[in-house]
Amino acid sequence: MQNAKDLLKRLGIDRHPRLLPCGGADSITSECPATGEPIGTVRLDTAVELEATIVRCVAVQKAWRMLPAPQRGEIVRQIGEEFRKHKNDLGELVTREAGKIRAEGLGEIQECIDIADFSVGLSRQLYGNSMHSERPSHRMFEQWHPLGTIGCITAFNFPAAVWAWNSMLAATCGNATIWKPSLITPIVAIACNEVAQRVMQTQTIFRPAYGDPRDVFGLVIGRDSEVGERMVADRRLPLISATGSCRMGRKVGQVVAGRLGRALLELGGNNAIIVMPDADMKLVERAVVFGAVGTAGQRCTSTRRLIVHESIVEKLTDKLTHLYASIKIGDPMDEATLMGPLIHAETKNAMKSAIEQAVAQGCHVKCGGLPGLAKYDNRPGYFCEPTIISVPKGVVPAICREETFAPILYIFSVKNFEEAMEIHNGVDQGLSSAIFTDSVRSAERFLSHQGSDCGIANVNLGTSGAEIGGAFGGEKDTGGGRESGSDSWKQYMRRQTCTVNWGTDLPLAQGIRFGD
């Protein structure tokens, strides 16, 4: 890998005020999970600095909301162009700090670009419905207004894209955003936010009488106890968008509900692929390997369970075991690498514990396993071999109901579609799902109300790799939130039903007569 200082210099953040020459009590050092080498030291914000950020963002949002939406869209377009200009360097920074392979790091920045493009079109499509009133000489319609200043809390595994999903849509809708990134990937956050703030500083469309245009995109980097918990509880932030574990989401949801705010929660996934006997096996193999191994199994949409018809389960298991043996593991900047490191030592420990529990609960390790973890113990970084575990027929071990954020794939054998769906839906999470089949009947059953209970359901493609055009999110313990495309913009706005009486009488609804 190239020197981290050179990368930060190319991105223009080597002298950023948040970056410190050395550590201290109020700082955190970001490390590359592939090498353990430090990337930079970041100053942490306090409650006082959070308060100042909220005040600034709330103030400038009052002016930003008055700018016509197409003009807001034009500024977002400029931000997207700036991301295009810096795509390679930002993608490398994602790879360096989050451990994603180079192709995935670039793909994440492409998501930032794509959602900016989507938001530009959206700026001319913030439509409201009109409806016929039951009262004569009345016009009835809906319109949408900006919600305010949004709190956005993101996780390490998508350190840029999830912020972009939220902030680009929120900005187009007339909101400001305060971003609290993961403390594991703070430098990606600094770089991405700097890209947006540079455009806000140099653009000539929005020049408020009061406030700094850069504060449309606010950033706080701090500990949960100092910053995160205060953000979640603050009534000045009408919407909290939070990505993370189910446990974290329950805490956030309870606090936000307690103040009658809105929570947009993107939480855990225990995603499954069903494989029927008539499936195209080449498609299955490619989808499973990417879904289970991509990002070292650290995507919320990673494939964690493979539910296979008993007539083909042995053959498919053998094929996947063979394919896993050919996966190149190592430097994520190497174009030939397909799997980089886990994010930190705690994740390796969690993977080890899950494997041990699976074996204790009667499962059989087909490849990887504890030897695949120990193999990399004496080298820098947090590497492991991806693991395939065969589940005994007719059993659903407790560990398989949990989400382990690591490359573990559990394979189930089933007799028919009904048994497959019972196992598929028999977990608390409900994010992404897929079926591979050439049967129209099986595909349609999977997509019907009798089928997948997840927010995302695919036919003949895997669980991982959603496009920004569709709403992203899940059901059950996944939180019910929806981000990115489709009509997810409505989460960042408030709906208002309006009625105009242009007549000379005052008829009441439902034909009520009052004092006539």
Q: Hey, which residues are catalytic here?
A: 266, 300
Residues 6 or more apart whose Cβ sits within 8 Å of residue 256: 232, 240, 262, 263
> How many Cβ atoms from other residues are within 10 Å of residue 143's Cβ?
15
Half-sphere exposure (Cβ direction) of 190: Cα atoms closer than 13 Å: 29
Residue 286 CA to residue 142 CA, distance in Å, equals 46
Render the burial of 456-478: b for 16+ CB within 10 Å, e for the rest.
bbbeebbbbebebeebbbbebbb
Half-sphere exposure (Cβ direction) of 174: Cα atoms closer than 13 Å: 18
> Which of 144, 202, 191 shows the shortest CA–CA distance to 172?
144
Residue 260 CA to residue 237 CA, distance in Å, equals 11
Residue 475 CA to residue 400 CA, distance in Å, equals 18
Residue 35, exposed/middle/buried by CB under 10 A (0-12, 13-18, 19+)? middle
Q: How many helices (H) and strands (E) does the chain have?
A: 15, 22
Instruction: Write phi, then psi, for 302 (nearest 5 degrees).
Output: -55, 145
Residue 236 identity (one-letter amino acid): R
> Which of 300, 248, 266 shows the shortest CA–CA distance to 405?
300
Q: Are strands 271-275 and 303-309 parallel, antiparallel or unpaired?
A: parallel
> How many Cβ atoms from other residues are within 10 Å of residue 486's Cβ?
14
Half-sphere exposure (Cβ direction) of 341: Cα atoms closer than 13 Å: 26
Residue 213 CA to residue 71 CA, distance in Å, equals 14
Residues 6 or more apart whose Cβ sits within 8 Å of residue 29: 23, 38, 40, 41, 42
